[in-house]
Structure 1
């Protein structure tokens, strides 16, 4: 479960991490009341679960009443990478000299949490990790003992944090790990931690993801779940009983099994495409479930093409094909090209049954993925 920035910041503030004065607003009038209380300059920040909000126009700095109103009118209600902005966080501007990155996540390869600190704050940390990994200092944490203070100091100094603020940053890192452990977080980070001209450290952003399987012992966080709900598509996925994760690409992926979907997702990336989602419709592929899956993927305006990867096990391939035909026949117009690959029980029969006027059929997964990627490229062009 992802928390919104305003929710995570409240948790950080309650734990003693310095955060800017802020207010949540859902109307232009509420934004204006908030900036009048907080003062100028003020940041107006869209509260949606996407990265790169600033580049997409979801964060504006206002230095006057006119700018604040213009930003509020622009951001509230906007479509930000497929998400409608219903709320904004109005936050006091921070006069900063440096930006840092501080975070805790799980290193699944090592089987331990890892603390990460970098002087490259304020940018995409994944890009830093890929292009200049030496700029991220790391320290693994034994969960039996937690993050020792000396480890926090060590990773902070290895990152090259200025000495006059290093202890403050180490203290924030220690608090983050305490929250990571006590709140059953799967990821927690601040990007950026800002160093002000007065050499104070301030959490200018907040990311906190919670292990959904642990919500039964986190009742306060569980109450935030509806408020932190992703979007209409993810709400639909819960209603339909699908495992669904929205991604940032344009190739929609539907499969019946987590491993099958992950393989398809990896192949889309391998062949130069960008996955738009992870959608596992589970066992069975009757017309109703296929219709719901297609309805969800078609509703994602980022999707330019769709690939079905279905393996017939207990559910036979011919039954799957009938379900796909019935589902697609229910649409007045197929809004995006659909590629289907069937394998397993009665796959050959299923391939014959598929309506070639409604779908493109490929015999191998590799061919199906490459065709779907090409379809998406042609739509973009």
Structure 2
């Protein structure tokens, strides 16, 4: 369950983390009135459940209420990475002295949480993490011990953040544990010229298993701005759209996450996360392939299945079934291993679709999918 930024800031305020004064608006006219109440000069921010809003033009400074109305009219209805903007948030500007990054995320593999912080926050944090990994500090957090004032101070010191950020770091941990969150992120966490520490943006992902305790958000936390995610949700699929070109389908969250990493290691970007589950039927496979192929950014699709509860021949049947209803115009690389793998491979061989290729290993399949995506981009 992802929250919108304006919902995340409500939680930040509840836990004593300072945020700029702000209001939300569903129309350009409402935005004008909100800007007037906030003092005239405001930041107009698209409310969508995806990153990259600033670079996409979804975050703009408006100098007065009239400009806020015009800016909101431009932003409302925008498509940002497949997400339609239906609401904007208007916030009072802040004079910034320094920008930082801070988050807590669940590390499933290690059975603990991870504190991630950097003295180089802002829109380019992903580039910083990729090109200067040493500038991003990652510190394991024992769930039983949590983040004490001493721990928060240690995280701040290790990341090069000023000591005044430690209280916010501890409160972010309290949000993570008390609000059933899997991710709590602030980018940027800023030091204003006044010396105050404020959260200028926020992202919170709540645990779906805790929905019964998070009823205050109603259906808003479960809505999908992305039409493909909405379509997938209606079909009961565990699908998250990403920004890459290689569509990924697998059975089991761990296998899919590993596949994403392997694809990235081959020099390509995953276009999505799609877990068809441990007992997927041919229909589920067909539905999943249909959704992934509907993404215009996908240049090739990688199906990586290890047969256990899900038999590989059922997966192969699903692929064949999808090919009967979907016109395949992009290469499809399939790796089947485990239960009934030989039978599944034989089914695909018999179908002999010219755009379907098979690989025997995950690494080999990822390399082939990445190469095909690169070839498609060069055409």
| Class of the TM-score when normalised by the shorter of the 2 chains | 0.7 to 0.9
- The answer for the alignment partner of 1:375 in structure 2 is 372
List gaps (5 residues or longer) in structure 1: none
Deviation at 1:276, TM superposition (A): 0.8
- The answer for the alignment partner of 2:49 in structure 1 is 49
Check 1:223–1:255 CA distance in 2 against 1; reply closer, same or farther (3 A cut). Answer: closer
CA–CA separation in structure 2 for the residues paired with 1:141 and 1:309: 32
- The answer for the alignment partner of 2:358 in structure 1 is 362
CA–CA separation in structure 1 for the residues paired with 2:110 and 2:250: 30
Alignment check: 8 A CA contact 1:215 1:222 kept: no
CA–CA separation in structure 2 for the residues paired with 1:322 and 1:372: 21
Deviation at 1:147, TM superposition (A): 2.3
CA–CA separation in structure 1 for the residues paired with 2:106 and 2:307: 35
SS state at 2:29 partner: helix
Deviation at 1:15, TM superposition (A): 2.0
CA–CA separation in structure 2 for the residues paired with 1:203 and 1:341: 44
Check 1:171–1:295 CA distance in 2 against 1; reply closer, same or farther (3 A cut). Answer: same
| 1:181 maps to which of 160, 177, 181 | 177
Aligned ranges for residues 70-149 of structure 1 at < 5 Å? 70-107=70-107, 111-136=111-136, 140-149=140-149
CA–CA separation in structure 2 for the residues paired with 1:307 and 1:156: 40
Check 1:156–1:295 CA distance in 2 against 1; reply closer, same or farther (3 A cut). Answer: same
SS state at 1:2 partner: coil
1:328 aligns with 2:360: no
Alignment check: 8 A CA contact 2:229 2:240 kept: yes
CA deviation profile, 1:234-291 (whole Å, cap 9, x unmatched):
33333323222222211112234445434433332222211111212233442x3333
CA–CA separation in structure 2 for the residues paired with 1:9 and 1:315: 42
345-354 or 19-28, which deviates more: 345-354
Aligned ranges for residues 1-381 of structure 1 at < 5 Å? 1-65=1-65, 67-107=67-107, 111-136=111-136, 140-162=140-162, 166-167=163-164, 169-221=165-217, 224-227=220-223, 229=224, 231-282=226-277, 283-286=279-282, 288-311=283-306, 317=312, 320-331=315-326, 333-343=327-337, 344-357=341-354, 359-365=355-361, 366-381=363-378
Alignment check: 8 A CA contact 2:105 2:184 kept: yes
Alignment check: 8 A CA contact 1:46 1:87 kept: yes
CA–CA separation in structure 1 for the residues paired with 2:319 and 2:118: 49
CA–CA separation in structure 1 for the residues paired with 2:151 and 2:251: 44
Alignment check: 8 A CA contact 2:250 2:276 kept: yes
CA deviation profile, 1:14-53 (whole Å, cap 9, x unmatched):
2222111111122222222222221333111111122221
Q: TM-score, normalised by structure 1?
A: 0.86
List gaps (5 residues or longer) in structure 2: none
SS state at 1:308 partner: strand
Alignment check: 8 A CA contact 2:102 2:185 kept: yes
Alignment check: 8 A CA contact 2:320 2:348 kept: no
The alignment yields a C-alpha RMSD, in angstroms, of 2.8
Deviation at 1:296, TM superposition (A): 0.9
Alignment check: 8 A CA contact 2:139 2:155 kept: yes
CA–CA separation in structure 1 for the residues paired with 2:334 and 2:142: 46
Deviation at 1:183, TM superposition (A): 0.9
SS state at 1:301 partner: coil
Alignment check: 8 A CA contact 2:299 2:373 kept: yes
